[in-house]
Amino acid sequence: MISMRQLFHLILMVILTMPCVAQQNISKPSEKNAISQKQPKLLVGIVVDQMRYDYLTRFYNKYGEGGFKRMMNEGFNCENHHFNYIPTYTGPGHASIYTGTTPKYHGIIANDWYDKSTKESVYCAGDNSVESIGTTDDAGKMSPHRMVATTFADENKLFTQMKGKTIGISIKDRGAILPAGHTANAAYWFHGKNEGVFISSSFYMKELPQWVKKFNKSNIVESYLKEWNTLYDINTYTESGSDLNDFEEGFKGKETATFPYDLKALKETNGGFDILKATPYGNSLTADFAIMAIEGEQLGQDAISDVLTVSFSSPDYIGHNFGVNSKEIEDTYLRLDLDLERFFKVLDEKVGKGEYTVFLTADHGAVHVPSYLESVKIPAGYVNNKSSRSSLEAFLKEAFGSSDLIENISNNQIFLNKATIKSLDLELDDVEEAIANEVINYEDIFKVYTATAMNQTSFSDGIEHLLQNGFNQKRSGDILLVGKPGFISYHRKGTTHGSGYNYDTHVPLLFFGKGIAKGHTLKKTAVSDISPTVSALLSISFPNSSITGNPLEFVLE
């Protein structure tokens, strides 16, 4: 017979072993595999610089089946996707997409901005503490150090104990650097001029890897210095305006902004190899380099998720030069569609169908050339900054006895001279308010807000909300200016961007590949939702400042 003491010990042993059994049940290998199998081997983020949403629909019937249409038909299309802050520039756009937040938190408030501490203009990716790699030019002195938030690529590196690779690629340095984040294995960008090579920074490496050196020594870049004519018969380009018009800048050395363009002949008067940036061949060059990176870096070749960020910069250069209604823009997107198709085919072959995930979006849109809008009787025009500055200085002299109260005006922001204001025994918020009340009367100004209002009031919608999301307390100016819809500070030929109006905020957002549902939505989505969605797909932590974005559950399977 078992004594009471023996029975007690037997029961105690059973109780003590129960947690171990439970733990064994929780840690079944099959369940671990289920988690890892959900994650793609390679996550590819594609940004098309200055791509308006309507480029998907305007040119849809001329796209092939393997590029944009493949993403739309096999994946998920967010048709009402917007940027949720001002200003809509390239640097903030790329940072916001990958950090899942806005300039208010990630700190990239523009491409260049006035630094209130050093009293000088700084570049979003500039870093004099590092050295150029691959060139003796200063073009490589770049890093992400001014971006204070993590990207989902950073979080993936942390999650995988730094085993997952991150590679950033673009024609523009900021288009490669900011998406790849702080922990990237490498970021590469194109240096034109008389070299025509992809370069990097000592922030990432001591020398270029062999596959990059091989690419730079090949004839690939030179091969694109050829004639740029329309891909198809120009008469079939019915989705864009006439080729000869008064709204396009064109290239130096060519009398009209009309096809064809002899790039080899125009090279010397247009920045050497830099001319390729403003042609569709800049996209082809980017795709070539990204394809070589997949093999050179062995991306997506194991169960640990890698990240490849690719930014196609050329559409922005072309849009600025020729405008959004040009034959050049239509040709650019028809050719980009083919570049995407061949890029996806390489992913199918090298990584495997169903083993990678891609999203495609843009960093901002652009407005129709205002002089064109004027010609069709749509309200539009050009801001006269010189006249406004003169009027403002005269007002300050009369109101405060000094015109030396302004330190800088840039990015539609006024930075006040705090030292002068203090020396005149003035209150900062009084000066802000007085200037706001003055400039709202100027013809070019639509709305004005002060830093005090941004700090003390919470705006939940409208332009005010977008301004607040772009307002960084440490870096932004003291007075924020908003122009009228359709009005820009630019030349009368070509166009630009930066506002909070739909033409600048409404951009594509496409997902396809592993873990992505098939469908579309007209529900409004925001740029800050992209990174949390990707993070959820990768089963990793959200970027550290992604406080406002939410995963788009309907996008995920």
* Listed residue (304, 361, 307, 298) closest to 181, CA to CA: 307
Is the dihedral angle over the CA atoms 32, 35, 36, 38 positive or is it negative? positive
**Could you give the CA distance from residue 319 to residue 363 in angstroms, rounded to a whole number?**
13
Residue whose structure tokens are 């059994």: 21
Are residues 43 and 356 in contact, defined by beta-carbon separation less than 8 angstroms?
Answer: yes
* Listed residue (295, 299, 250) closest to 41, CA to CA: 299
Beta strands in 50-125 (DSSP E): 76-78, 81-82, 112-115, 120-123
The reported pLDDT for the residue numbered 385 is 87
Beta strands in 501-553 (DSSP E): 509-513, 519-521, 525-526
**Could you give the CA distance from residue 396 to residue 6 in angstroms, rounded to a whole number?**
95
Are residues 448 and 432 in contact, defined by beta-carbon separation less than 8 angstroms?
Answer: no
The reported pLDDT for the residue numbered 403 is 85
**Could you give the CA distance from residue 442 to residue 394 in angstroms, rounded to a whole number?**
13
Burial of 252 (0-12, 13-18, 19+ CB in 10 A): exposed
Q: Give phi and psi for 295, each to the nearest 5.
A: -80, -45
Burial of 326 (0-12, 13-18, 19+ CB in 10 A): buried
**Could you give the CA distance from residue 311 to residue 268 in angstroms, rounded to a whole number?**
26
State whether CATH 1.10.10.60 applies to domain 384-443+445-483.
no
**Could you give the CA distance from residue 133 to residue 176 in angstroms, rounded to a whole number?**
15
Other CB atoms within 10 A of residue 357 CB: 25
**Could you give the CA distance from residue 555 to residue 76 in angstroms, rounded to a whole number?**
6
**Could you give the CA distance from residue 180 to residue 230 in angstroms, rounded to a whole number?**
34
Structure tokens at 60: 């849809």
179 conformational bin, left if phi > 0, alpha if psi -120 to 50, beta if neither? alpha
The reported pLDDT for the residue numbered 463 is 96
502 contact partners, CB below 8 Å, separation of at least 6:
82, 365
495 is known as an active-site residue: no
Other CB atoms within 10 A of residue 548 CB: 17
**Could you give the CA distance from residue 469 to residue 104 in angstroms, rounded to a whole number?**
5
Are residues 155 and 136 in contact, defined by beta-carbon separation less than 8 angstroms?
Answer: no
422 contact partners, CB below 8 Å, separation of at least 6:
none
CA 369 to chain centre: 22
Question: For 413, which DSSP code?
Answer: E
Q: How many residues belong to the chain?
A: 557
- Let me know the angle formed at the C-alpha of 545 by 499 and 415, rounded to the nearest 5 degrees: 45
Burial of 19 (0-12, 13-18, 19+ CB in 10 A): exposed
Query: Would you list the DSSP string of 87-105?
Result: ---HHHHHHHHHHTS-HHH
* Listed residue (508, 496, 171) closest to 314, CA to CA: 171
User: How far apart are the two ends of the chain, measured CA to CA in Å?
Assistant: 59
Structure tokens at 129: 């503490």
- Three-state DSSP at 548 gives coil
Q: How far is CA 278 from CA 283, 328, 543, in A?
A: 9, 10, 33
Q: Where are the domains of the chain?
A: 37-369+499-555, 384-443+445-483
**Could you give the CA distance from residue 126 to residue 192 in angstroms, rounded to a whole number?**
18
Q: Write down the pTM of the prediction.
A: 0.93
* Listed residue (251, 358, 363, 263) closest to 315, CA to CA: 363
**Could you give the CA distance from residue 427 to residue 531 in angstroms, rounded to a whole number?**
41
The reported pLDDT for the residue numbered 96 is 98
- Three-state DSSP at 45 gives strand
Other CB atoms within 10 A of residue 536 CB: 18
The reported pLDDT for the residue numbered 487 is 97
| Element spanning 381, H or E | strand 381-382
Instruction: Give the chain's residues under pLDDT 50.
Output: 1, 4, 7-12, 14-36
User: Of the residues 17, 88, 90, 505, which is catalytic?
Assistant: 90
Rg (CA), the chain: 26
Q: Are strands 186-191 and 166-170 parallel, antiparallel or unpaired?
A: parallel
The reported pLDDT for the residue numbered 38 is 80
Fold assignment, 37-369+499-555: Alkaline Phosphatase, subunit A (3.40.720)
